[in-house]
């Protein structure tokens, strides 16, 4: 028996010796991890769609930097992920430049046309006309994507617009194989999209049937637009024939955008919002994104709690998450809007002093009611079909970009001859202060409709710096849930030492003040839910997925990429 035990012990020892030897030949991953990220030595791109991710990696391989690759991905996703990738929408880009140790935020959010007015989406009786604000040409704001991408490339890239746009143009002209998620998405929106001749012509066959998996899907009208931009730059989009076609479609369908609106659009570079959390810098988007403000606000609230000892997704930890989220979204309803039109108290909302005051109001073992919580500052909704991508290069530059059409495929209509889908971002304004938008978010006067104003957003592109170098790049779609999804990915890394994939795979929750309930994903234990219920938290019936993260971690000279396991056809690709 002793001999048998000795033999078994020797075999076990040899096994672990061989395993350790094998791991020494590859980048070291902790053996505790069940979720393994993608590994890269020279750079990483992660996005919601694998063809676009590969486009970005190919640009890096050609010597482009992270900005070059990000702009290439942005244009490619307008072709391969049309439900959210776009030329006709807008978004936010956060960049960290390694050589200068500088962080930049580019605001290319859509803008209200000059003819927009405060009550433009109200019926005669004062109620909100939701159809008008979501599914008509009046719902379309002046697009910002082309200006934003061009600004980033001109100022921080190394390649020409033609070089980074060529892959998108080729994909639109020659086509690509229809893939699972896009096939299902187009089928799900078919009834609405078939009502618009231009969209029906592009997305469905001449006989009205749908493209099937594996069939070549071409977009010749979009290729025309891409070629015009490649040759004429952003001027062609905002002053040339593309603009003329968009405006003609507006005039024919009761929209408000004019040639003057197109010509007056500008991407705005703003100072990145930077928070501090336990020795790390949280570099994120300032207003008109609410995401960065409330990400920093919540992290400040919980910085002095020992979350690690409480345990990941324990009832104690989730209780603190919920209550901090509740307060942040209450503040969002009152104070956040376009900083060019309203005084947004960013410094106060993101201060450690304010966070301490609010944290002291959170009971240790009892839920509060949202009806008892209002915007607390005393100055003594958006689409799940938004999309995000993250890029890092070998020199330490990083890009976190989130952009959108708002609802999936925007209003479901195209400007004829352009292949460009029209956004419905005007619904992100508060059509009537105090009335929920399409995602249940309450807005105040700070986010009311005004000419040339940019609507509030929850998009939260974020870069975490460790010793002033990018350590974790993250972001997600998900409308009102974006802020809390990004928050939990950051806490999973900084507090619970998870790798890029584990941080992304862990179950998530969401609370947004109103409506007063907690959304939960599958994977939160029944015992934990029972404890939260005993505390008085209201848990929404059923489970759903929340968000779709695209993350990159840089550690020990290795890039670790992760595309969300919740999402079909998403991909992290490194080299």
The structure tokens listed for 555 are 């550690």
Where are any strands of DSSP class E within 196-245?
A: 216-217
Residue closest to 398 by CA, chosen among 70, 77, 56: 70
Radius of gyration of the chain (CA): 24
Can the peptide bond before residue 288 be classed as cis, meaning omega within 30 degrees of 0?
A: yes
Q: Is 386 considered catalytic here? A: yes
Three-class SS of residue 268? Answer: strand
Q: How far is CA 436 from the centre of its chain?
A: 21
Catalytic residue among 386, 387, 462, 528: 386
Where are any strands of DSSP class E within 76-179?
A: 90-97, 102-108, 176-177
- 550, β-bridge pairs: 563
The structure tokens listed for 372 are 């008892």
3-state secondary structure 305-321: CCHHHHCCCCHHHHHHH
Task: Check if the beta carbon of residue 257 is closer than 8 Å to that of residue 251.
Answer: no
Residue closest to 332 by CA, chosen among 497, 513, 548: 513
What is the spatial distance between Cα 544 and Cα 522, in angstroms, rounded to a whole number?
7
The structure tokens listed for 454 are 């940019």
Residue with tokens 């200068």: 100
Q: Which residues are catalytic?
A: 386
């Amino acid at each position: 028996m002793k001999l048998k035990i000795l033999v078994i012990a020797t075999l076990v020892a040899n096994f672990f010796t061989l395993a350790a030897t094998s791991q020494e030949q590859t980048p070291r991953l902790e053996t505790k991890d069940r979720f393994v990220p993608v590994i890269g030595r020279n750079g990483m791109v992660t996005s919601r769609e694998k063809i676009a991710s590969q486009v970005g990696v190919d640009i890096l391989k050609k010597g482009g930097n992270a900005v070059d690759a990000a702009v290439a991905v942005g244009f490619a996703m307008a072709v391969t992920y049309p439900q959210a990738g776009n030329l006709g929408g807008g978004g936010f880009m956060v960049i960290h430049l390694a050589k200068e140790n500088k962080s930049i935020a580019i605001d290319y959010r859509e803008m209200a046309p000059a003819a927009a007015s405060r009550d433009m989406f109200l019926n005669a009786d004062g109620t909100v006309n939701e159809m008008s604000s979501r599914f008509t040409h009046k719902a379309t704001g002046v697009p910002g994507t082309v200006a934003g991408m061009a600004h980033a490339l001109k100022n921080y890239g190394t390649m020409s617009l033609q070089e980074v746009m060529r892959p998108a143009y080729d994909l639109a002209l020659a086509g690509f194989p229809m893939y699972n998620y896009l096939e299902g998405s187009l089928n799900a929106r078919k009834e609405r999209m078939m009502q618009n001749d231009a969209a029906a012509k592009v997305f469905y066959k001449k006989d009205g049937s749908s493209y099937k998996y594996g069939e070549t899907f071409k977009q010749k009208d979009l290729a025309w637009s891409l070629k015009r931009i490649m040759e004429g730059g952003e001027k062609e989009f905002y002053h040339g024939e593309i603009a003329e076609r968009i405006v003609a479609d507006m005039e024919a369908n009761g929209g408000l955008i004019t040639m003057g609106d197109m010509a007056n659009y500008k991407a705005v570079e703003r100072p990145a919002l930077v928070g501090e959390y336990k020795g790390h810098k949280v570099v994120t988007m300032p207003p008109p994104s609410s995401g960065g403000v409330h990400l920093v606000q919540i992290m400040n609230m919980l910085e002095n709690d020992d979350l690690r000892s409480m345990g990941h997704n324990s009832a104690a930890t989730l209780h603190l998450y919920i209550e901090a989220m509740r307060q942040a979204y209450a503040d969002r309803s009152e104070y956040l809007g376009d900083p060019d039109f309203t005084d947004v108290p960013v410094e106060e909302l993101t201060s450690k002093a304010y966070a301490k005051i609010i944290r002291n109001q959170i009971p240790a073992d009892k839920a509060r009611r949202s009806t008892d919580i209002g915007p607390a500052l005393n100055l003594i909704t958006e689409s799940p079909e938004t999309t995000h991508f993250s890029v890092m290069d070998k020199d330490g530059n990083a890009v976190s970009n989130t952009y959108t059409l708002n609802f999936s495929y925007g209003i479901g209509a195209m400007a004829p001859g352009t292949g460009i889908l029209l956004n419905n971002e005007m619904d992100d304004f508060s059509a009537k202060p105090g009335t929920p938008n399409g995602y249940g978010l309450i807005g105040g006067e700070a986010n009311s409709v005004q000419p040339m104003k940019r609507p509030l957003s929850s998009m939260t592109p974020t870069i975490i710096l460790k010793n002033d170098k990018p350590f974790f790049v993250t972001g997600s779609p998900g409308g009102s849930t974006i802020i809390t999804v990004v928050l939990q990915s950051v806490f999973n890394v900084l507090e619970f030492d998870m790798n890029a994939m584990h941080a992304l795979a862990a179950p998530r929750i969401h609370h947004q003040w109103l409506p007063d309930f907690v959304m939960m994903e599958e994977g939160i234990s029944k015992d934990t839910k029972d404890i939260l219920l005993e505390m008085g938290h209201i848990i929404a019936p059923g489970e759903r997925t929340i968000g779709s993260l695209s993350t990159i971690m840089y550690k020990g000279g290795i890039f670790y990429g992760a595309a969300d396991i919740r999402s079909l056809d998403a991909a992290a690709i490194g080299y």
